[in-house]
Amino acid sequence: MRHLLSISELERADIERIVEQAARFAEVSDREIKKVPALRGRMVLNLFYEASTRTRSSFELAAKRLSADVVNFASGGSSVEKGESLKDTVLTLGAHKPDAIVIRTPWVGAAALVAGWTGAAIVNAGDGKHEHPTQALLDVYTLRQKLGALDGASIWIVGDVAHSRVARSNILAFSRMGANVTVAGPPTLIPREIGALGCEVRFSLDEIAQADVVYALRMQHERMSEAWVPSLREYAAAFQINRRRVSARQLVMHPGPVNRGVELSGEVVDSPRTLITAQVQAGVVVRMAVLYELLSGARTFSPVPEPQLA
C-alpha cells in the first residue's frame, strides 16, 4: 500500500491485515513504556486544515509510539492565513522530507491531489464530506473486539449521511467486512445515490430494533449552507438515539464530537455500553498500524516480549 486515501481502494484482506496489526500494537499500548523503535528516523507530518481533537492527537501519539519524528501543522497561525495555497504549503513543508503526510482538509479530493505533489505516503484524515478511512478502520477494529467478526451483523448508520465522510468510509468498510449496512435519516440528509455503496436506506427508525449496532453521526453544521432539517428539536424527536430507541443488546457508536441531546441523548453518551471511548482508544493502535504499513512495507510487526522480572 503506497497511500491510504479511500476505503474504496482496500480489499477485505487489506482491512483485516491492518486491524490484525493494530491488535499486535495494542499489546505495546498496554506496556509501561509504550514505545517501539519500528519507525525510528522516519518523519510524519500532520497537516490539519480543519478542527480535530481525536484524529490529530491519535496520529501524533501513534507516530511517537513508533518512535517517528512528528511535525504538527495547523492552518490557523500559519502562512495559510497570509494566503499561501495548499500546494505551496505542501511543497514548503515537503522540503523537510516527510516520509508520511497525514492530511485533513475541508476539500473533497485534496488528499489525492497532495499525493501527486510529493513523494511522501499520504494518509487521508478527512477530505470534506468524501472519506475518513482511518475512522472506518478503527470502527472495524472496535467492532471486531466486541463481536469477533462483522459477518452478518446488522449495522444502522443514523443521521446526517449527506455531509458525513465517516458515513461513506464506514458503509464501504462495514460492507467489505460482511456486515449488512442500513442508513437512516430524514430524506434531506440521505443522498439519493447512497444505495450504490451497497447499503439499505430507511427514512425512519421504526425498524431499528433489528440493528446489532447503531452508529450515530454528528450533524455537520460546518458543511451546511441552509437548513436541512426544520429544527434540531424536530430532528431529535424523530432520529435521536436514546434509551427508548435502543435496547441493552445493541451496541452504540459515534465518531465524535457528539452533539449531546441531538443525535445521542446524554444518557446514551454516558452509558458504559456505548463504545465511544473504545473507539478513541482504537484510534491510536489502528493509526500505528496504518503508519507502520505505509512506512515499513508490508512486514508484520511482532512485539519483542517484555523482559520479565525474576
Beta carbon nearer to ligand ASP, 165 or 176: 165
Residue 208 phi, psi (nearest 5) = -65, -15
From 65, 132, 144, 168, residue interacting with ligand ASP (rule: CB under 6 A): 132
Max CA separation in the chain (angstroms): 66
- Rounded Cα distance between 86 and 281, Å, is 31
- Residue 126 contacts ligand ASP per CB under 6 A: yes
Q: Which residues contact 95 (CB under 8 A, 6 or more apart)?
A: none
Grid cell of 166 as nine digits: 465517516
- Give the number of residues in contact with ligand ASP, rule: CB under 6 A: 7
Q: Is 158 exposed, middle or buried (0-12, 13-18, 19+ CB in 10 A)?
A: buried
The residues with which 73 forms a beta bridge, in sequence order, are 47
- Rounded Cα distance between 167 and 305, Å, is 38
Question: Please, what is the minimum distance in Å from the beta carbon of residue 256 to ligand ASP?
Answer: 6
Q: Which of residues 30-89 bind ligand ASP (CB under 6 A)?
A: none
Beta carbon nearer to ligand ASP, 94 or 256: 256
Q: Which residues contact 233 (CB under 8 A, 6 or more apart)?
A: none
From 153, 166, 199, 294, residue interacting with ligand ASP (rule: CB under 6 A): 166
Beta carbon nearer to ligand ASP, 28 or 274: 274
Kindly tell me the number of DSSP H helices and DSSP E strands found in the chain: 9, 9
Beta carbon nearer to ligand ASP, 65 or 218: 218
Q: Which of residues 192-221 bind ligand ASP (CB under 6 A)?
A: 218
Query: 119: closest CA among 96, 137, 139, 138?
Result: 96
Beta carbon nearer to ligand ASP, 127 or 293: 127
Question: Please, what is the minimum distance in Å from the beta carbon of residue 227 to ligand ASP?
Answer: 19
- Rounded Cα distance between 2 and 245, Å, is 43
- Residue 130 contacts ligand ASP per CB under 6 A: no
From 144, 165, 168, 176, residue interacting with ligand ASP (rule: CB under 6 A): 165
Residue nearest to ligand ASP (CB): 218
Beta carbon nearer to ligand ASP, 60 or 99: 60
- Residue 256 contacts ligand ASP per CB under 6 A: yes
Q: Is the peptide bond before 133 cis (omega within 30 degrees of 0)?
A: no
Beta carbon nearer to ligand ASP, 262 or 294: 262
Question: Please, what is the minimum distance in Å from the beta carbon of residue 132 to ligand ASP?
Answer: 5
- Interaction site with ligand ASP (CB under 6 A): 126, 132, 165-166, 218, 255-256
